[in-house]
Amino acid sequence: MHVVLMLVVVAVGSVLFHFVSPWWWTPIASNWQYIDDTIIITFWITGVVFVAVLLFMAYCVLRFRHREGQKAAFEPENRRLESGLTIVTGLGVAAMLAPGLFVWNHFITVPADATAIEIVGQQWQWSFRLPGKDGKLGLTSIDSIADDNPHGLSKSDPNARDDVLVDGTELHLPVGKPVKVVLRSTDVLHDFYVPEFRAKMDILPGSSTYFWLTPTRTGTFEILCAELCGSGHSYMRGTVVVEEEVAYQAWLDGQQKRVVAEQTEVGK
């Protein structure tokens, strides 16, 4: 009976913990409510199965406990039970995978009016690049990376000449505008993650990955690296500032003026 009671307590306690404890995420700050919905669906499916298994185990312990004079029945196969479990398990797995596939398709289907920005991860810092007046990001190459060209911009691509390399680890974004986030790494595997955006993506060395989002509320949010990338992994942080269009344009104009001033200084 002690084992039965423990199993029942674990099942009931798990349900109470889910509804009573303040474990829920921070308030969302982007359009990716789909991510939360998908996780909640997964929790419901796995939670129901978890509780059902615990209660079934408690029933079996109670029902088939040792009693004097009672012998266990030997039944090595039960085709109906095995078929039922296979079908139910298959349906449960499909129910968990299907929403994720739809969300993933939406996650990488970038709207036509999205503005592309680039985020580069390297041990152990983030750096950012924005399109210039032409609204286009220039081409890059790993072979072009140097002390005076940390992003590896292609010097032969005219679209790269006015690209804005953000000074510092603070990225600004306008609220309510879709953004295509292009991700690159100059060394090892990283993962760009802003918890409030509900959006994250691995960054693979030698290739580019991407996703898109629309910031839905103003504020300052921390950028984390969600992939162990070396001894300084925990210090690889940055900041995203989501602000109104007027404030964003003022910040962007300041960044563009700095780029022009630096190019003028180099020309001298």
Q: Are residues 26 and 48 in the same domain?
A: yes
Q: Are residues 259 and 144 in the same domain?
A: yes
CB neighbour list of residue 52: distance below 8 Å, 6 or more residues apart: none
Cα 207 to the chain's mean position, in Å? Answer: 18
Q: Are residues 214 and 91 in the same domain?
A: no
Would residue 70 count as lying in a domain? no
Q: Are residues 84 and 147 in the same domain?
A: no
Would residue 71 count as lying in a domain? no
Q: Are residues 49 and 24 in the same domain?
A: yes
Ranges of the chain with pLDDT below 50: none
- Long-range contacts from 243-246, C-beta under 8 angstroms, 24+ separation: 243/172, 243/173, 243/174, 243/175, 243/218, 244/174, 244/175, 244/218, 245/174, 245/175, 245/177
Q: Are residues 155 and 263 in the same domain?
A: yes
Would residue 74 count as lying in a domain? no
Question: What residue numbers bound the domain in which 180 lies?
Answer: 115-267
CB neighbour list of residue 173: distance below 8 Å, 6 or more residues apart: 117, 179, 215, 240, 241, 242, 243, 248
H-type alpha helices, the chain: 2-20, 33-63, 79-107, 245-267
Would residue 259 count as lying in a domain? yes
Cβ-count burial of 140 within 10 angstroms (0-12 exposed, 13-18 middle, 19+ buried)?
A: buried
Would residue 87 count as lying in a domain? yes
- Domains of the chain: total: 2
> Residue 259: its pLDDT value, please?
64
C-alpha to C-alpha distance for 252 and 258, rounded to whole angstroms:
10
For residue range 110-137, list pLDDT tens digits in order. Answer: 998 898 899 998 888 898 988 877 777 8
Q: Where are the beta strands (DSSP E) in 113-213?
A: 115-122, 125-130, 164-165, 170-174, 179-185, 190-194, 199-203, 209-213
C-alpha to C-alpha distance for 41 and 95, rounded to whole angstroms:
8
Q: Are residues 120 and 245 in the same domain?
A: yes
Q: Are residues 102 and 217 in the same domain?
A: no
Q: Are residues 97 and 136 in the same domain?
A: no
Would residue 174 count as lying in a domain? yes
CATH number of the domain that residue 211 is part of: 2.60.40.420
Q: Are residues 133 and 262 in the same domain?
A: yes
Would residue 69 count as lying in a domain? no
C-alpha to C-alpha distance for 178 and 115, rounded to whole angstroms:
7
Would residue 23 count as lying in a domain? yes
Q: Which residues pair with 172 in a beta bridge?
A: 241
Phi, psi of 217 (to 5 degrees): -150, 150
Q: Are residues 224 and 251 in the same domain?
A: yes
> Residue 262: its pLDDT value, please?
63
Give the predicted TM-score (pTM) of the model.
0.76
Q: Are residues 136 and 259 in the same domain?
A: yes
Could you give the count of Cα atoms lying within 13 Å of 249 in the half-sphere of its Cβ?
A: 5
DSSP state at residue 77 = -
Please say whether the beta carbons of 195 and 239 come within 8 A: no
